[in-house]
Structure 1
Amino acid sequence: MCLDGYTAVPPTHLATVVTYLERREPPPPRSRDPLPLAAIGADVARYRALYRAVGESWLWFGRARVSDDALAGILGDPDVEALALTEAGRDVGLLELDWRRPGEAELVYFGLVPEAVGQGRGQRLMEEALHHAFARPIGRLWVHTCTLDHPGAVAFYRRSGFRAYARAIEVTPDPRLTGDLPRDAAGQVPLLAE
């Protein structure tokens, strides 16, 4: 199959390159105190507020397209853990892990609110993600990121011990046009259909 060249994408859709990364080694023992993480549990309103605060700039839409009942079911699953990094009583980071596949965990969502980026919190939050993920008997932690995410995401994951192992192209309706995100979200990504 030849995939060389350009492929037109309808103006109502987005296309992005997705990179899959994995880490198979557990982290070294903790060298500092854990961060203040709070379990979100099945608190759908809290989860949605933090998800939007972290991901709207990067057009995160996966959980925005899920009904409240379906999201409560995901968050209430004992093999899913959603945690908030809290500072001064405010949620500033999101870490979501999923152990529903035997022998592995997925780092489903990971990020900080915009004003918390660039101050070392990301690396500390990743340390927490690694310790939480490998606290269960797994052989692999994996994550995917895309070209709509922070431009440094792949490099950050690689510095955190992940290695890229696959790539895919995702084409999806633009969440700003479906009403899943506000029309002014992610101003760096042109809105083609008005």
Structure 2
Amino acid sequence: MAGVGQRVSAGRAMITPLAVLNFCMYMIILGIAGWALNRTMDLSPAAGGNVGATAAFATGFGNRATLFLVLFALIAGVTGIASAIAGIVHAGLWRAESLATAAATALVAWLLTLLAFGLACKEIHTSGRDRRLITLESFVIILAGTQLIYLIFLHGIMSTAPATRDPDYAAGTGEPHMKGPGAAAAV
């Protein structure tokens, strides 16, 4: 049976590649969703187009779910980028503080990706979309899974890795080591 140290090493070895993979995929999502949002703005009446913002997606390259998918994909993409950067920083520092940051941003990014995932499923069900939007849907669906795996690795490390504990804290107490005499050390 593998020891705690071996599980931590395996998790540490997987965090960086998953973070880099997610970073690249979220960048692709941002590019495609940004294109779709730009296209909508070009078709809107304020830009000289002849259709409204929600109807712009339904005319030619999307359907009524597309606007919401694009907006949530943009939000999920930005938080996913933050999650990947926090994970890469954590892999370099390997401290409890960076682990907490990476795990928290990964959770938020995964939840927002799940919202976009639901909208991608709705858009697939509604049909009538452009090939770029099919690519966006595919990446959102894949990222819902890869971000979950990344999150599982981070939380697995949190639960099994005493090596990630801050050395300034006493083992198991959660209290800092006191350096110096009584009251002066507490300040």
TM-score category by the smaller chain? under 0.3
TM-score under structure 2 normalisation? 0.25
More strand by share: 1
TM-score under structure 1 normalisation? 0.25
**Which of the pair has the greater relative contact order for Cα pairs under 8 Å at 6+ separation?**
1
Which has more radius of gyration?
A: 2
More helix by share: 2
